[in-house]
Each structure stands twice: as structure tokens, then as C-alpha cells.
A and B are shown apart, each in its own frame.
Chain A
Amino acid sequence: MNVPSAPDPETVLEWANTVQSTSDKILRRLAGEYHEDEWGFDEEFTETVFPIFEFLYSTWWRVQVEGASNVPAHGRTLLVANHSGVIFPFDGAMIATAIQKEHPLPRWMRAMVLNWAFDVPFVSFILRRLGGVAANPANLTRLLEADQPVMVFPEGQKGFGKSFADRYRLQRFGRGGFVEVALETASPIVPVAVVGAEEIYPKLGESKPLARLIGSPYVPITPTFPWLGPLGLLPLPSRWRIEFLEPIDLSGYGPGSSEDRSLVFDLSEQVREQIQDAVYRGLVERGPAFI
């Protein structure tokens, strides 16, 4: 029979230090002594909640990553990914986590976030503290000009809220606004294909009356939500695969090329096809969704 031995003094000291530094940090933050950048990104907050994303990344979704080093380690970078999630944009969070864990020189990613997210209580400021910025060309241009790495999801709401039957079929890429900005700012585009995020909340339908009731743009119905209440918000433990493709260099097109409609549409379509191909490839590589 095992008798639990008393912890050695050094471990106790370590615990005490952790407790003290944590309480110090909490008190310091409650006094307003922390840093936010001009966009409202709070690095300390992001680092503090990062273990939650790490857990989801390693244990819950067992994310496999391919080609993380395709993301430039410095300078302006535009990551373009397929979008899904239905309830919370976990795909963006996992791309950022993948960079942190797999990239030799990780940076915190900024993300272009759908406008209506800033109308949802709590989500509005939590996303901002994690690096979310309202999706519009002005913000994207300014971030890229400041040499930041930015994620965009050109499918937007059409991809985020699509039903389970449409999974892994990329939706239309809007008007290609992201290509215009990338051309204007001469930023390389890194296409990213995310596989696995479509199974976390299988959307079967949506409820218009509920959406009207809580003032949300839409309320999805999944096998567990809203039937199980808050428990239904628990994402299913699917298996994920994220692939970063080779960067597309746009610096050769020169200024003014962003006004060339056909070039913008061609590039936008090229990026979309690359991601779609990589998604199909990734689905085969990943194998079954849950085991």
C-alpha cells in the first residue's frame, strides 16, 4: 500500500512562489497596471489564457501541423484561412496556437473579426484583448503597414455559420478585398487550410426566434446546443490538421495593381483553390474525424 509522502520543502517553496506571483499579478492588474497596445491587444492576458488554448490544441483536438515555417518570422504577413466554427472561431485561435508552438520564431497573430462579434457581450472585448480587430480594409492596411502578422477569413459569416452538410466546401471569397490590401501593402499571402474545425459544432439548423430574443445575428442548433444548455457549448473532440502553404509573393505586381479587378479576382480564386485542395488533401491525411 502506498503511503503519500510529505512533499519536499523545495516543492512547497515553489508552490508558495507561484501563489505569490499569481496573486501579485492579479492585484497589479486590478490596479490597472498592465499594458495594452493601441489596438487593445493585451499580451499579458493572452499569455495567461494561453494554457487553455494549449490544452485544446494538444489534448482535446490533437492538432497536427504541416509547414509552420512557411509563415515569415518577421514583417507584414497575411494568413488566409478557411473558416468554420459556428459558435466560437476556434480555428483562428488554433492557428495562432500552432504558430506559438511549432514556429521557430513565434509571433502573436492579429485576426480580422466579423463586425457582429463586437456586438456580442463579453466576446466583444475578449476577442479584442486576444488580438482581434474589426474586419475592414482600413484596419487590415494599418496592421500590415505596421508589419504585423494578420489572419483573415474571407468566407466570413458564410463560412463560419455554414451547416454540417456543407462542411469543407469553401464558400465564396467575398469581393477579394484582402487581395487588394495585400497588393497595396506588398504583403505576402500565406494560405492556411484547417481541417477538423467543422466537426466541433455540427450545425443542423438555426433558430430565428431565439436569435431575435437574445439579439444575436443567429443561434445555431447542434446535436447538443441548446438542448444541454451551457454544456452544449462544449466543442466535440475532433481530430485537427492545420497546413500552412507556401507564401505567395505579391511584391512584383507593383503599386496600382490593386485596382486591376481581373488580377484581384484571379489571385483571390487562386488562393481559394489552393486552400480547397489542401483541405481535401488534409481530410485524407487526417483520416477519421474523432478517433
Chain B
Amino acid sequence: MKLEGKSKQRILIAGVATHWGSELARALQGQPGVGEIIGIDSSPPGGDLGPVRFVEADIRDPAISKIVPELEPDVLVHCGIVWYPEKGRPSRALHDINVIGTLQLLAACEKTPGLKALIGRGSAAIYGSAPGAPSFFTEDMARRYPLVTRFQRDIGELEGYFDNFARRRPEVTCCMLRFQVEIGPDLDTPFNRYLSLPVVPTRMGFDPRLQLLHVKDATGALAAATLNPVRGPVNVAPDGAISLSRLLRLCGKAVVGLPPVIDGFINRRVGGYLGSADLYRDGELLLKYGRGCDNHRLREEVGYELAFDSEGAARDFARSSGGLPTLFPSPHPGSPVRVSR
């Protein structure tokens, strides 16, 4: 479904005050085919979003079923699925926000006859992290492993509701995006905070294989999927992969490997400190076993061209988080390897 070339679309962003909701609102402005942009959230967005119309509403509130149909959106982007506690979204409320919020929003969509597309900003955490997992999860492998963490179960549940809605309303193009871990210089997430620790604790004897999605690609892919939604889930993952040890070396970080006896305790403390709270278990598994996703659908069907691969995103992060003491400076600082991307 191409939105371009037709009359201008009215786009509704649920969860506009979240980082990704605000970024999407900025990215969509002035794009061909985009008409009015409306944002809803329980609190106003932090920064200035220009011409975006803001409506204050909580997606968990049944009143959302009245508000959304009145706004008559052509496209609804659900950015209100949160991965970790944020300001105004404590960890205790995450289940409510993610599952109940999505349910209420879908109920509101049922009452919105003109809706053409529904896009969800979900997470690749639904695949989990397991020792024998496929190195590249494709979209059809979502429930291959039991959903072990609370966040995974929440994501699994809300994707179930999402699928149901897609079946009931075949005229609406429903697209669930599954994002890999984002990385970026100014991004404030538990993973980025983890990389900014003075000494980074890792699990001794393990070196996960990660895919790092650059912030620019994270926003770019979300905007691309909004303008050109496809049916079903889509992995938003970069090309290639990088091991945690290499990422930390590129960043010049001091690393301490934690032996198995104490790592649980330390990880819990570090997880709490980084603000990942209840989702700490997801992070712990990710930093032990890693995860990789296939991105063919994103590149070929959504048609988004990624600007960075995993290594490029790591290098960009390392360069911009510069000023940090580098333990092992490169012996060839001017080499072309160093300056690529």
C-alpha cells in the first residue's frame, strides 16, 4: 500500500511524548502524502514538535474509543509500547501501558471506519535470546521459543491482539514492527547507559552477537513503514552483527568479566541502576546469548534502505561518545577502516 500520490493522509501518533513518537512526528513533517499530524499521549511531548496537533489522552482510558474516531485518522501509529520505564511511566505500569493500552487502542480502531493502516512499534524481544536460536530470526519464527520474561509475554500478548484485529478488519493494513536494540550518541536507553558505564560488566565466558540499529535508521524505518505499510510483522534490524566484546573495544571501554557465582547479584544491581527495572531479565539474556534478525522484509517490501550496518552504528557511537579515555588506541588511527561510515 503506497500512500504517496493520493490525497494527503491524516496521521495519528499514539504515544507522541515518547522518544520515538516525537522523532516520528518530526520525521514525517513535510513528507509527500502527509497531511495533518496529530499526536496523543497522557502528557505533552518534551520538545517542540512544530505544527503537530497535540491531544491529551491516555490510551489506557476507555474514553480513547471516543477520541480516536472523532479525529478521523487515515493512519494510526502506535508508539506507546514502551520497553523500559521512562519519566511518567514507572515499571509497575508497563504491563498496563503495553497490553491494556494496546487493547483500548484497538477497540478505538474498531470504531474508526476510515482507518487504512495501523502500525505498531514493537520489539524483537519477542524472539527472545536462547543458546540454540537461529542466527537470523525471520518474522514467522516469533513464538518458536517459550516466552520467558515478563516483557516478552506482554509483547506476545499484544501482538496476539494485533493479529486478531488484522484478521477481523482485512481492509486495514496492520503492520507490527519488531525493533532490534537501538544505539546512538544522544539516545537515553538502558543499553546506551550500559555502554556509558565507566567499567562495563560482562558475563565471563560469554560474548553475545548483537545487531545494533542506528537511531537514524530506527526513526527512518518507522517513518518509511508509516508511509508504506505492509501486512504482518516486519523486523527492523540492521545488516550484519557485532560481538559485544568488539563493540566495547571500539568504544575503548574497560571491561570486567563477572564469574557465574556473583553475576546474578551484580547484574540485578546494574540493571536497577541503568533503569531497566523489571525488564532487566531481557537485557541479561540478550547480553549472554545475543540475537539476530533477518531484515529482508524491511529492505524489500517496506523498501527502506538502511544507512548503517551493525558495525557502522557501533563506530558512529564510539566516535560520538569520544572524549572517553581509550584504553587501547588504534595503532593505525588514520587507516581507512577507522574512518569508514
Contact = CB atoms under 8 A, between A and B. Distances in A.
B242 A39 contact: no
A173 to B, nearest CB: 19
B289 A118 contact: yes
B184 to A, nearest CB: 18
A33 B141 CA distance: 34
Interface range on chain A (Cβ under 8 Å from partner)? 20 to 34
B95 interface: no
Interface in A125-159: 125, 128, 133-136, 138-139, 142
Contact of B132 (A24, A27, A30, A136): A136
Contacts of A121: 204-206, 260
B330 A36 contact: no
B132 A32 contact: no
Contacts of B289: 118
Contacts, number: 100
Contacts of B135: 38-40, 133-134, 138-139, 142
Contacts of B260: 121, 215
B204 to A, nearest CB: 6
Contacts of B245: 125
Given A24-B331, A31-B329, A38-B292, A142 B206 contact: no
Interface string B48-85: 00000000000000000000000000000000000000
B131 interface: yes
B246 A34 contact: yes
Contact of A124 (B141, B207, B331): B207
A27 B243 contact: no
Nearest to A128: B209
B209 A118 contact: no
Interface residues of B, number: 40
Given A39-B241, A40-B241, A31 B134 contact: no
B182 interface: no
Contacts of B132: 114-116, 118, 134-136
A201 B20 CA distance: 55
A119 interface: yes
Nearest to A122: B205
Given A28-B331, A38-B240, A38-B241, A33 B337 contact: yes
A138 B138 CA distance: 9
A115 B138 contact: no
Contact of B207 (A31, A117, A125, A136): A125
B241 A30 contact: no
B133 A134 contact: yes
Interface in B9-36: none
A117 to B, nearest CB: 8
Given A36-B246, A124-B205, A28 B332 contact: yes
Interface in A10-37: 24, 27-34, 36-37
Interface of B: 131-136, 138, 141, 204-207, 209, 239-243, 245-252, 260, 289, 292, 318, 326-332, 335, 337-338
Interface of A: 24, 27-34, 36-40, 114-122, 124-125, 128, 133-136, 138-139, 142, 215
14 contacts: A28-B332, A29-B249, A30-B249, A31-B326, A31-B329, A36-B246, A38-B240, A39-B209, A117-B131, A118-B132, A133-B135, A136-B134, A139-B134, A215-B260
